[in-house]
Amino acid sequence: MELSNADGRGGSALSMPIAETLVRWNSRGEMEPVLAVAWQHDPDYKRWRFSLRPKVTFHDGEALTGASAAPALLAALKPKYSDVSIETGGQAVEVKAEHPMPDLLDVLALPGAAIFRKSDANALIGTGPFRVTASEPGRHLTLASFDDYWGGRPYLDAVAIEFGTGRGHADLFDIPVGPARRILPEGLATWSSAPRTLVAITASNADPALLQALALAIDRGPIGNVLAQHNGEAAFALLPHWLSGYAFLFQSTPDVPRAKQMVSQLRRAPLSLSYPANDLFLRSVAERVALNARDAGIAIQPMPGGNGNLRLVEFPLESEDAAHELLRIAPQSNPPDLTRAESLYQLERTLLDEHRIIPLVHLRETYGIAPRVHFQKPGADLFELHLEDAWVDQRAAP
Amino acid sequence: MSFRTKVFLSITATVVLAVWVVAAVVSTLVSQSFERRDDQRTATAVGQVQREIGRRGAEVARRVEAVAESEAVQRLAVNPGDTSQYFATAQTLAAEQSLDFLEVVGPDGAIISSAEWPARFGYKEDWLTQSADWNMQPAFLKKEDLSDGSALGLIAVRSVKAGDGMLYVAGGQRLDKEFLDSLQATDGVGLQIYRNFEPRESPGPAAVLVDDVRREPRELKRVTDAASITAIPLEGRDKQLLAILLVENSRTELVSLKRYIQGTAAAVGVAGVLLGLMLSFWTAARVTRPLRDLASSVRDVAVGKWDTRAKVWSSDEVGQLARVFNAMTEQLVEQRDRMIQAERVAAWRELARRLAHELKNPLFPLQITIENLQRSREMAPEQFDEVFRESTSTLLAELGHLKTIIGRFSDFAKMPAPELEPVDVNQVAREVIQLFEAQLRAPGRPPVETKLQLGADAGQVPADPDQLRRALRNLVLNALDAMPQGGALTVRTSRHDGKVALEVSDTGEGLTPEECDRLFTPYYTTKQHGTGLGLAIVQSVVSDHKGTITVQSEPGKGTTFRIELKVTM
């Protein structure tokens, strides 16, 4: 199967596992085993013990053991738990630290905690259903099915992925956000993820009151409907509603008169809104924001690249862990306990009230799917499109 | 002011005035010519701009019609439901039709797609929905709002029926510097468009003109040294002033030409002044040289050169004057000669009379005595001897008298040349007065008071002391003779201006002016017993000493003789 990625945006919704984690969240929000079949911890969450799945081998044939998994695990955990240490013995892995690690499973479920090894010839040797056969960073990646995959060989024999090209003859291709969507041929099958990329304005050096007025002045609906061509949803919260469950509580409508009134009482400082150069969608968003701001009397100069005092930033979700994603969007030096939904809401409310970040739109990822490509469980997971569930009908025309 | 200066000023003033008048007239004519040319250029440029606006307006209208008939707009008109997918349509269509501005606007006036400001979708353009017959209207000027400011556009609008409503397609092109640059430029003419929604021009003639047109939108013109600027208001659909076309005609050529004229005039003026200077010299030389010659001749005549003749340079008035002068001097010479001859005759007559008188007096006693002596031969010898003695005594006395008379005349005839030596004038005065002291104090003599008023600074003069004493003595004698009843005799000396003055004054009866005129004529006397040689001798002495003698007298107030001798010869 050939796969293309036109603008490099997204791609996070496409699951083509090469390396796997010990655990993962399923679509029901439950933690389920992957490479670890069992785990337990002491009452203080300072010592965790995992039992690795037996008879799992890496793509190069080496068996998955505690010793072979430990380097990747240690590298993944060190950034969060500086005093972490790992002891291994056979298929057992023991993770220890001086401080409690109650959220260790959440961390281990993240893609960054995948278990992989490196060799001189291959930088990514995992245990997933696909193995890397050739790669040229930023241009293309070729995968082949891993026949000895512990979960069973995938349907696809090989996957060729081209980056930065048009659709061409690809069986699966990403549909960029924005006007390009309208040129799709009629009847084309598509798959859209749940909104999973937040586009927001972050402020590094601006009057919070001015930012509050700006937030009131922005009409988010047209950004999702027109600029994103219905490929996004107006965002009033940092986390999408499907992830947090409370985003509707932040919903509001533009209030330009009030914004004007607020601006009239402020010292007007010129603002610049920078966006990644060559990103047409974010450029159009920046210009729309500047237009809305002008209606409220706020002068904003869109600026490609550079360092504006306002920045247009994308925050793609990498997991279905709401707390983790919220902390990714707005890192906290001393994060509160976010295991409860109320505390998560309170943190987000606090963050939004500070007006350091103004959510604009949550974007979906959409892929066009050639008629000969089929998925075993289409629509079962709106977070990721699993390539290991896909197969190609060789009889159909490409 | 000399004649030369007057001639110079006259010529210079004439030349400068003439040059100034010519320069002013030429400058005015040139200015008028340039203004007519500027007006023609301005009219041409304005006509060109208006034609180009009209041509581009028609082209814009045609392109907007093409957009309105495009598949995308027609599809939108057929299915105007969800317009979000047409968000970028205007940009594509504008690029296809080379339009700078293009907006597709829905029936409600909301922008569906905007090429010039894509982010403005959804915003209202209500002015489009206020006219129902856009398809019949030509292109017009309009201010177009952009994300980075505003621009002046030549806009056409066409409408397309969409369900129950209308879709509007408004498109156009910029009217900016590139538009002006695309026009065929006229030499020396600059075109500029001031947009009425931009910050005002920097200070200058154009800015002032712009302000004037903004206050009162009409064609205005302003002329400066650098350029003449014409401002033509450009109005939009609703007659609002959107822009001002500034047509600037450079006046560099005119200014250069005026400067050239002024420079030439200045050069001609300077040349005129120089010419005036030369002409004045030449004219003055031609006119004043005869006059100066004439004046010199007059001065010569004044100093006694009676035979002087003025040169006749020309036959004009000056020449006639010279001829008249020459005739006059000839007549004067003739008259002088006649007078000299008459005076000589008179002098000889006077001399004869005086000689006859002087000689007759002693001759008569000689005759009587000789006749008496002849008769006495008849007398007794004793008586004869007595008569003979008396007669011979008388004869000797009278002969002595005759000798004296002849000696006086001889002395006058034989005045010796003075032998000069330093002589103290005061000393001479004292000696002469002392000489007369005894005579003045003689019994029976009328009282005469003598006064010596000798200046301490009189000093010495080069003179013959004997002759000077003689002259002074004669003057004193003359003064004493003038005061037969007594009076005052004053002798004064003084020194001034390099001369020493010696004055002798009496308080006698004085002289008439006619007597004064003849006073120094030899053998002229007002006295009964004078030879008339005393004052003539004085004048002769003074003349031999290169001095002067003058007399001041009024009848009844005495007479003063004044001798002036130079301190150095």
A-to-B residue pairs, Cβ atoms closer than 8 angstroms? 34
Stretch A2-11: mean pLDDT: 56
CA distance B221 to B206: 10
Q: Note the pLDDT tens digit of each residue in B215-261.
A: 888 888 888 877 888 888 998 888 888 888 888 888 888 888 888 88
Distance from CA of B162 to the nearest CA of A (A): 20
Average pLDDT taken over every residue of chain B: 85
Query: Structurally, what CATH architecture does the domain formed by B306-414 represent?
Result: Orthogonal Bundle (1.10)
How far from the centroid of its chain's Cα atoms is residue A245's Cα?
18
Identify all chain A residues contacting B121, using CB atoms and an 8 Å cutoff.
222, 226
Size (chain A), residues: 398
On whether the B416-566 domain is CATH 3.30.565.10, my answer is yes
Of B84, B119, B123, Cβ closest to residue A225: B84
**Burial per residue of B17-40, b for 16 or more beta-carbon CB atoms within 10 angstroms, e otherwise:** eebeeebeeebeebeeebbeebee
B122 neighbourhood in chain A, CB within 8 Å: 219, 222, 226
As a whole number of angstroms, the distance between CA B302 and CA A85 comes to 147
**Cβ of B104: how many Cβ atoms within 10 Å?**
29
Could you read off the pLDDT of B484-539 as tens digits, one per residue?
888 999 999 999 888 999 999 999 888 888 877 777 766 666 665 566 677 888 88
Angle, vertex CA A57, rays to CA A55 and CA A61, nearest 5: 130
Quickly count: other Cβ atoms within 10 Å of residue B460's Cβ. 14
Element (H, E) at B500: strand B499-505
- pLDDT of A13: 67
**pLDDT attached to residue B528:** 58
Residue A344 contacts residue A244 (beta carbons within 8 Å): yes
Say whether B35 sits in a helix, a strand or coil: helix
User: Does B88 sit within 8 Å of A287, measured CB to CB?
Assistant: no
Q: Give me the pLDDT at residue A262, please.
A: 92
Query: Given an 8 Å threshold on Cβ–Cβ distance, is B88 in contact with A288?
Result: no
- Is A193:A13 a contact under the CB 8 Å cutoff? yes
**What single DSSP character describes residue A63?**
B
DSSP state of A388: G
Q: A136 pairs with which residues across the strands?
A: A140
Average pLDDT, chain A: 86
Bridge partners, A190 (sequence order): A368
| Separation of alpha carbons A76 and A68, rounded Å | 14
Is pLDDT of A87 > 90? yes
* Residue pair B309/B336 in contact by the 8 Å Cβ criterion: no
CA dihedral B382, B388, B393, B396 (to 10 degrees): -160
Share above pLDDT 70 across residues of chain A, in percent, rounded to a whole number: 91
Q: Which residue has the higher pLDDT, B424 or A337?
A: B424
Q: What is the mean pLDDT of residues A360-364?
A: 94
Angle B71-78/B89-97 helices, nearest 10 degrees?
Answer: 150
Does the pLDDT of residue A69 top 70, yes or no?
yes
Which chain B residues are closer than 8 Å to A284 by Cβ?
Answer: 118-119
**B242 Cβ neighbours under 8 A, 6+ residues apart:** B141, B142, B143, B152, B195, B196, B197, B234, B235, B236
Torsion of CA B418, B421, B424, B427, to 10 degrees: -60
Choose, out of B87, B117, B146, B147, the residue to mutate when testing the contact with A (most A CBs < 10 Å). B87
A287 touches chain B (CB under 8 A): yes
| Chain-chain contact of B87 with A219 (C-beta, under 8 angstroms) | no
Lowest mean pLDDT among A43-47, A121-125, A216-220: A121-125
Of B249, B335, B310, residue with least CA distance to B38: B249
At A5, is the pLDDT very low, low, confident or very high (cuts 50, 70, 90)? low
**CB contact set of A371 (below 8 Å; sequence gap of 6+):** A189, A396, A397
- Find, among A239, A247, A272, A189, the residue nearest to A362 by Cα: A239
Encoded amino acid at A328, one letter: R
Using a CB–CB cutoff of 8 Å, tell me whether A229 touches chain B: yes
| Site of tokens 């607020």 | A262
Per-residue pLDDT tens digits for A314-337: 998 888 888 888 988 988 888 788
Position A393 pLDDT exceeds 90: no
**Residue A7, pLDDT score:** 52
Task: Could you please state the CATH topology (level 3) that the domain comprising B1-291 is classified under.
Answer: Beta-Lactamase (3.30.450)
d(CA B209, CA A296): 36
Q: Single out the residue of B138, B106, B111, B109 nearest to residue B122, CA to CA.
A: B111
Report the candidate in A36, A32, A41, A70 with the shortest Cα–Cα distance to residue A54.
A36
Task: Look at residue A167 in the predicted model and tell me its pLDDT.
Answer: 66
pLDDT tier at B303 (50, 70, 90 boundaries)? confident
Angle at A146 between CA A142 and CA A149, to 5 degrees: 145
Give me the domains of chain A, ranges plus CATH numbers: 2-16+128-192+366-392 (3.40.190.10), 23-113 (3.90.76.10), 197-363 (3.10.105.10)
* pLDDT value for B523: 61
pTM, to two decimals: 0.62
Q: Which among A284, A288, A291 is the top mutation candidate for probing chain B, defined by the most B β-carbons within 10 Å of its own β-carbon?
A: A291
Q: Is B423 helix (H, G, I), strand (E, B) or coil?
A: strand
Q: Helix (H, G, I), strand (E, B), or coil: what is residue B169? A: strand
**Pairwise CB contact (< 8 Å): B147 & A291:** yes
Dihedral angle computed from the Cα positions of residues A258, A260, A265 and A271, in that order, rounded to the nearest 10 degrees: 120
Per-residue buried b or exposed e for B407-421, using 16+ beta carbons within 10 Å of the residue's own CB: eebeebeeeeebebe
How does pLDDT run across B91-105, given as a tens digit for each residue? Answer: 999 999 999 999 999
Structure tokens at A243: 């992830």
Pairing of the two strands A23-25 and A197-203: unpaired
User: Tens digits of per-residue pLDDT, A137-158?
Assistant: 778 888 899 999 998 888 888 8
- Which position has the token pair 């007479």? B559
Domain regions of chain B by residue span: 1-291, 306-414, 416-566
- Using a CB–CB cut-off of 8 Å, the residues of B that contact A are 84-85, 87-88, 117-123, 147
Our measurement of the distance from residue B488's CA atom to the centroid of its chain's CA atoms, rounded to an integer in Å, reads 60
End-to-end CA distance of chain A: 10
Beta bridge partners of B488: B449
Q: Alpha carbon A121 to chain centroid distance?
A: 29
Output the pLDDT for position B91: 92
Distances A226 to A199, A360, B32, B83 between C-alpha atoms, Å: 15, 13, 64, 8
Which pLDDT belongs to residue B117? 92
Enumerate residues 141 to 200 of chain A having a beta carbon within 8 A of any beta carbon in chain B.
Answer: 179, 181-182
What integer is the mean pLDDT of A206-230? 91
Name every chain A residue with its beta carbon within 8 A of the beta carbon of B85.
179, 181-182, 229
CB-based contact B509:B482 (threshold 8 Å) = yes
Q: Which residues of A touch B119 (CB under 8 A)?
A: 284, 287-288, 290-291
Q: Which residues contact A154 (CB under 8 A, 6 or more apart)?
A: A129, A130, A145, A146, A387, A388, A389
Strand partners, B231: B220, B246
Own/partner contacts of B42-49, CB < 8 Å, gap of 24 or more, are B42/B189, B42/B228, B42/B230, B42/B247, B42/B249, B44/B186, B44/B189, B45/B183, B45/B186, B45/B189, B45/B191, B45/B247, B46/B230, B46/B232, B46/B245, B46/B247, B48/B183, B48/B184, B48/B186, B49/B180, B49/B183, B49/B191, B49/B245
DSSP state of A379: T
* Cβ distance of B120 and A291 shorter than 8 Å: yes
